[in-house]
Amino acid sequence: AEYILEEVNETIRDQESRARVSEVSNQLRMGKGRLDLTLPNHRLGPRKLLKKGALTKAKWRRKLGVLPWSDILLLLNENGGGWLHRV
């Protein structure tokens, strides 16, 4: 019975993780396009968002959005109501 519960919990966590990846991906803009984080990552398995937060640069008091993923680290500029990824 515990094995079944663990499997169900793991499946739910995976679904929630995929939903978060999709939600964040829909909000990120790269120039005029969209940064698609839902594309498959062939070497490391599914991409997972580890944490979501903001950093403030003390010298300029500028906020940067920080999104550490299982395979990349995104630093984002605040852009009105959302965050903008800049290459």
What digits encode the pLDDT tens for the residues 23-66? 888 877 676 777 778 877 777 777 888 877 777 767 777 777 78
The model's confidence at residue 84, banded by pLDDT at 50, 70 and 90, is low
pTM across the whole model: 0.60
Between 79 and 46, the more confident residue is: 46
Q: What is the pLDDT of residue 8?
A: 95
Q: What b/e readout covers 17-46, taking b as 16+ CB neighbours within 10 angstroms?
A: eeeebeebeeebbeeeeebebeeeeeeeee
Please list, in sequence order, all residues whose beta carbon lies within 8 angstroms of the beta carbon of residue 34, skipping any fewer than 6 positions away: 25, 26, 28
Q: What is the pLDDT of residue 82?
A: 61
